[in-house]
Amino acid sequence: MSRATAKNPDLSFLAVRAKREDTFAALRSITAQGLLDRSRKVVERGVYTEIPVTASAPGFRIISQDAPLYYRKAPDLAESLRGQLLPEEIELLPRGWYILGDVIVVKIHPCLEPHQARIGRALLDCYPRCRSVLRDYGIEGPFREPVREIIAGTVTETVHRENGVIFHLDARKVMFSAGNLRERMRMGNLGRGEYVVDMFAGIGYFSLPMAVHSPPRRILAIELNPNAYHYLCLNIKENRVEDIVKPILGDCAKATPEGVADRVVMGMVQVTDRYLQRGIRALRPGGVLHYHQTVPSRAYPEQAVRDIAEAARALGRGSQILRCIRVKKYSPGVLHSVVDARIE
């Protein structure tokens, strides 16, 4: 096959070339048009990214990728365990899992508990670069910490790399949601030159993408959980953003300053409304609030919008809704949403 040219790109490897800061917007538009090639990865090339597409995307520059990167086809866990489990047990095997660094996190049906070690070993066979498998039971407690058990391997500390950001974490002790990737990428395009307050910073989920890709003047990252705070400090140093991100170990209800922020990130869910007035008080007039919350699907986005309007009104301030985003499905009939609002 002859080498493709810019005018006649190879149709097998079509991609949109976008500036890195425009990646999120371009990816959202391409996905909405149904043109995203999900078999290939988004690739960074210097100051640009290449977004794989199945056909020309109107309004975007189309190139032919010289070195496309493909996703590995998800392994068939059922096939690898066939003959070791009963047919009815095969039907209960997990259909999905996610990988943090070199640790696999998976939910397992209670009826398969006697076989969890075998399932763990099978997953490690599927992913030779991984070192451990954790069974996930959900989250609990005031710090919303994961409840997880090692079923294969011994290592739980890992290094997860994503969108040019390095995250050190212990997958057994702190949360890291794979479903929030697009929101973390979006945050990496916001806040340039601003004073930002991240009220539930965790290990730096949103602070670090901002600091690495769109440097604010200052980020005040507040975290109450000592385990998460330990990794927050480590990640700030690892990503070399010590001059931008200031970590604070404390309760954001007490540690959040008033009237100083151009932007406030409230990246917690379920209990976030209890801190909403505090987040609004932190903002200067005209500042932007990112309010994360879980809402029933049937009440999206009205419930979260109402939370903001009522909290602002109680403080004698106005609010303008800029954007409502469905981050992911949280549970049956419930969404994790984020609402962007300008607070006057």
Give residue-wise pLDDT tens across range 245-287.
Answer: 999 999 999 999 999 999 999 999 999 999 999 999 999 999 9
What percent of the residues of the chain are helix, what percent strand, and what percent coil, each to the nearest 5? 30, 35, 35
- List pLDDT tens digits, range 41-90: 898 888 889 999 988 888 898 888 877 887 766 668 999 999 999 999 99
Domain with CATH 3.30.70.2580 in the chain: 11-64
Q: Where in the chain is the domain with CATH 3.30.300.110?
A: 77-155
Cα gap 95→118, rounded to integer Å: 16
Give the chain's mean pLDDT.
91
15 exposed, middle or buried (CB, 10 Å; 0-12, 13-18, 19+)?
buried
pLDDT at residue 3, as a whole number: 38
Residue 4's pLDDT is: 39
Between the alpha carbon of residue 300 and those of residues 51, 173, 194, 327, the distances in Å are 30, 31, 30, 12
pLDDT tens-digit readout, 167-206: 999 999 998 988 788 899 899 999 999 999 999 999 999 9
pLDDT for 182 equals 86
Query: pTM here?
Result: 0.79
- pLDDT confidence of residue 72: 66
Contact by Cβ (8 Å): 163, 209: yes
DSSP state of 85: B
Q: Which amino acid is at 13?
A: F
Flag whether pLDDT at 104 surpasses 50: yes
Contact 60, 5 (CB under 8 A): no
Tokens of 218: 């200052």
Mean pLDDT of 208-229: 96
In this structure, what token pair is assigned to residue 245? 């991100």
Cα distances (angstroms) measured from residue 28 to each of 55, 182, 234, 238: 16, 9, 32, 30
Report which of 7, 128, 126, 140 is spatially closest to residue 61, judged by C-alpha positions: 7
Distance CA 341, CA 321 (A): 4
If pLDDT is split at 50, 70 and 90, which confidence band does 163 have?
confident
> Which residue in 141, 144, 239, 253 sits closest to 197, CA to CA?
253
pLDDT at 194: 98
From 281, 209, 200, select the one nearest 247 (Cα to Cα).
200
Specify the CATH number of the domain 77-155.
3.30.300.110
What's residue 11's pLDDT? 46
Q: Which residues make up the CATH 3.40.50.150 domain(s) of the chain? A: 177-343
**Residue 267 in tokens:** 């990246």
pLDDT at 193: 97
162 has pLDDT over 80: yes
Residues 6+ apart with CB under 8 A from 221: 198, 201, 204, 207, 232, 236, 245, 246, 247, 248
Enumerate the H helices of the chain as residue ranges: 23-32, 77-81, 87-90, 116-126, 181-187, 207-213, 226-238, 252-255, 276-282, 302-314
In this structure, of 139-143, 153-157, 337-341, the range with the lowest mean pLDDT score is 139-143
Q: Is the pLDDT of residue 310 over 60?
A: yes
Asked if the 11-64 domain carries CATH number 3.30.70.2580, the reply is yes
Backbone phi and psi for residue 254, each to the nearest 5 degrees, phi listed first: -110, -35
> What DSSP designation does 335 have?
E
Contact indicator for 141, 156 with CB cutoff of 8 Å? no
pLDDT band of residue 12 (cuts 50, 70, 90) is low
How many angstroms separate the CA atoms of 160 and 214, rounded?
20
Alpha-carbon distance of 325 to 323, in angstroms, equals 7
**pLDDT, position 6:** 39
Q: Which CATH superfamily includes the segment(s) 177-343? A: Vaccinia Virus protein VP39 (3.40.50.150)
